[in-house]
Structure 1
Amino acid sequence: MTARRGGGPTMQDVGRLAQVSAMTVSRVLKDDPGVSEATRERVFAAVDRLGYRRNQTARSLRLGGSGMIGLVVTNLANPFYSRLALGVQEVATEYGFRMLLSNSDEQADREPGLIDGLIDHQVEGLIVVPSGSRQQHLAAAMRHVPVVLAARPPAGLETDCVLVEDFHGARGATACLLAEGHTRIAFLGNPPALYTGAERLRGFWAAHEEAGIEPENALIRQGLVDAATAEAATLDLLRGSAGPTALFCTNNRISQGAIRALYKTGTTLPLAGFDDFDLSDVLGLPLTLVSYDADEIGRQAARLLLDRLGLQDGDPPAPRRVTVPTRILRHGIA
């Protein structure tokens, strides 16, 4: 069975045509005896009319299972992970599943316990944003349930994942600053051990190489974990004798810390970075932001997981990698 990738009818489409909820469609496909015969007939008529793949979907619901999938994110306070979770929940609900959510708080030593706890609660599959590069505990979990990774790739694992165009997004945003004549661009990044931090630095560096400009190592700050550390790093750069003429930030929290530092020092510099954020278009600052659909990362991860759950026979497909595209937004730039 292949999960819907955006082209075919959904369970919600069937429900609208049959004038029932998506949950009722799910109950019909699971042969729930509590559904009336008249409702059952309407649902199956809608399934046939729309060409909805009812047999495969019914298999994907894994009759007799718990009907739950687990999601582990690294920082629920970050709006990115909240949106990702909403995307997972949207698809899980569409297919009659419930979602159990855990937050590792970027603590790699905490993640194995969260994974074990979700498996103990009999989740049928897991979607995980890994908090580090050591993923042996995920290999152990895969002996019990399918696992899909989101936002960060597998390390030594053979499993599906959903990623963002980190390299291309960073290269594109940096290129915008370089095209405006900036040759002293500061890089404010999260820990280099994280895939996103490494890929976004690689994109930043590639844009410089393509422009024939050497980035200044003295303007590169890595290992920033929140707005406070980003603010401190930015203040340090601004107080230097040869400060930057523009900033590149690798995520929304780092951008917010950098903006606070600019405000405190009364400085206006162009800033480029990953993640759009609320009120970015009304700050009056020259901003170049790499935007993408965080909900879609969750939706794609959930579809990959439900696809795995629907495989009852035959050889499973090779691990798949889905990439969510980025786009450049520009605010406060004439």
Structure 2
Amino acid sequence: MVTIKDIAARLNVSPSTVGRALADDPRISGSTKQKVTAVANEMGYVANLAARMMRGVQSNLVGLVLPDIRNGFYSTIAHALSKCLEGGGFHLTLSETDDDRLVELHHIRELSSANVAGIIIVPTARPHPESVRLLKMLPHIQLLRRHAALGDQWFGIDDTEAIYESTSHLVQLGHRRIGYVGGTDDLPTGSARLKGYHKALPRDEAVVPQFVQLGAPSSVDFGREATRSLLSMSTPPTAIVAGSVQITQGVLEELTAQGVRAPEQLSVVGFGDELGFRWWGPGLTTVGLPVNDLATACGLWFVHHIKQNTFTSTPYTSISPAALIVRGSTRQVESALVEPADSPI
């Protein structure tokens, strides 16, 4: 394995000069840095991270802690963040929690011990107190979800407005029996989206509690089970609003399995705009999420403050708006299509 001493011997300089050049020390001239870098690359030198950590040198790794990479929303965010951080000289390392706070704690401990430059986290509903303590010692920012114990620096979307828009769209089409299948309200995203659903319902209409089905937001199976429950009601809803990407997938799978046609038999509004959603049935009306814009803004902000060493506890919030994409899976209810009786002249 090539060492700093090997590079120094090739260039006939001291190992300390090579080490400083590779660390971009301002005491070393630009020409020397170029020579050292060229020879290091030629010889296949790889920096020893453990040795750097023992010297207290911060790594160029940034941890991304999220619930489930199988969710297309999170995988897209991870890809966009990776590209953004790479442009700033950092590398992304990924950890999945499956929304388990003990798994989350394990990953935060490991990232902390690796002396990462910082952590970007989609937190669980109730982070462990030890996770809170460790994150206070590291540059970090919350993404999508926000927990008060983890600080006030957050990048996310307007979850309430997103579901308000999708539910309002159905109300305007004459629907009154609108089912909602979303994430549990112990998560801030789940609570905000449920609020948007209730906000959009007509005030003079009685809310049917059975029309609200809440469960794990990352579970396709829950989406299927909740849809099955709604369709089996004696008076089922005429429309369904989904509150997460994975839940949307489950809703669509169950409707397909039961042969329910949209929008002839049921109007459907999804969450997120996965490629497959565009081609499902007549095309899924859905909430389009600003995934790349959100991830890029978060990544650029993160890199800037790490490089400037200006990470503080000063509150910072960035909210990206979602947008409703209307396709063929929604239409007016039949009663709204009936022509009114002629009025006397």
- Taking structure 2 as the reference length, the TM-score comes to 0.75
SS state of the match for residue 189, structure 1?
A: strand
Q: What is the aligned partner in structure 2 of residue 47 from structure 1? A: none
Q: Does the C-alpha gap of structure 1 residues 312 and 186 become closer, same or farther in structure 2, counting only changes over 3 Å?
A: closer
Aligned equivalents of 2:252 and 2:103: distance in 1? 32
Structure 1 residue 29: Cα displacement? 11
The question of 1:73 aligning with 2:72 is answered no
One-letter code aligned to 1:256: Q
Structure 1 residue 286: Cα displacement? 6.2
| Equivalences for residues 273-288 of structure 1 within 5 A | 273-285=270-282, 287-288=284-285
Q: What is the aligned partner in structure 2 of residue 221 from structure 1? A: 213
Q: What is the aligned partner in structure 2 of residue 237 from structure 1? A: 230
| Equivalences for residues 76-115 of structure 1 within 5 A | 76-115=69-108
| Equivalences for residues 1-334 of structure 1 within 5 A | 33-35=32-34, 64-134=57-127, 136-209=129-202, 212-225=204-217, 226-268=219-261, 269-285=266-282, 287-312=284-309, 316=312, 318-332=314-328
What is the RMSD of the two structures over their aligned residues, measured on CA atoms?
2.7
Structure 1 residue 77: Cα displacement? 0.8
Q: Does the C-alpha gap of structure 1 residues 112 and 237 become closer, same or farther in structure 2, counting only changes over 3 Å?
A: same
Aligned equivalents of 2:326 and 2:144: distance in 1? 24
The answer (yes or no) to whether the contact 1:188–1:224 under 8 Å persists in 2 is no
Deviation string 1:274-333 (CA, Å, 9 cap, x unpaired) is 2111222222246321111223332222233223323447x9471201111111111215
Point out which structure has higher relative CO (alpha carbons under 8 A, 6+ apart).
1
SS state of the match for residue 215, structure 2?
A: coil
Q: What percentage of residue pairs aligned between the two structures are identical? A: 24
Runs of 5+ consecutive residues of structure 1 not aligned to the other structure: 1-26, 37-62
One-letter code aligned to 1:91: C
Q: Does the C-alpha gap of structure 1 residues 190 and 316 become closer, same or farther in structure 2, counting only changes over 3 Å?
A: closer
Runs of 5+ consecutive residues of structure 2 not aligned to the other structure: 1-22, 36-55, 332-345
The answer (yes or no) to whether the contact 2:166–2:269 under 8 Å persists in 1 is yes
SS state of the match for residue 221, structure 2?
A: helix
Question: How many aligned residue pairs are there?
Answer: 283
Structure 1 residue 212: Cα displacement? 4.1
The answer (yes or no) to whether the contact 1:68–1:98 under 8 Å persists in 2 is yes
Q: What is the aligned partner in structure 1 of residue 334 from structure 2? A: none
SS state of the match for residue 223, structure 2?
A: helix
Q: Does the C-alpha gap of structure 1 residues 232 and 308 become closer, same or farther in structure 2, counting only changes over 3 Å?
A: same
Deviation string 1:184-242 (CA, Å, 9 cap, x unpaired) is 00110112211111111100110114x64333112111114411121112112111111
Query: If you compute each CA radius of gyration, which structure gives the higher value, 1 or 2?
Result: 2
Deviation string 1:229-279 (CA, Å, 9 cap, x unpaired) is 211121121111110100011012111111122122222211113211122
Aligned equivalents of 1:212 and 1:287: distance in 2? 29
Q: What is the aligned partner in structure 2 of residue 46 from structure 1? A: none
SS state of the match for residue 269, structure 2?
A: strand
The answer (yes or no) to whether the contact 2:277–2:283 under 8 Å persists in 1 is no
Aligned equivalents of 1:143 and 1:201: distance in 2? 30
Q: Which moved more, 1:102-111 or 1:129-138?
A: 129-138
SS state of the match for residue 213, structure 1?
A: coil
- Taking structure 1 as the reference length, the TM-score comes to 0.77
One-letter code aligned to 2:247: I
SS state of the match for residue 279, structure 1?
A: helix
Q: What is the aligned partner in structure 2 of residue 43 from structure 1? A: none
Aligned equivalents of 2:206 and 2:295: distance in 1? 37
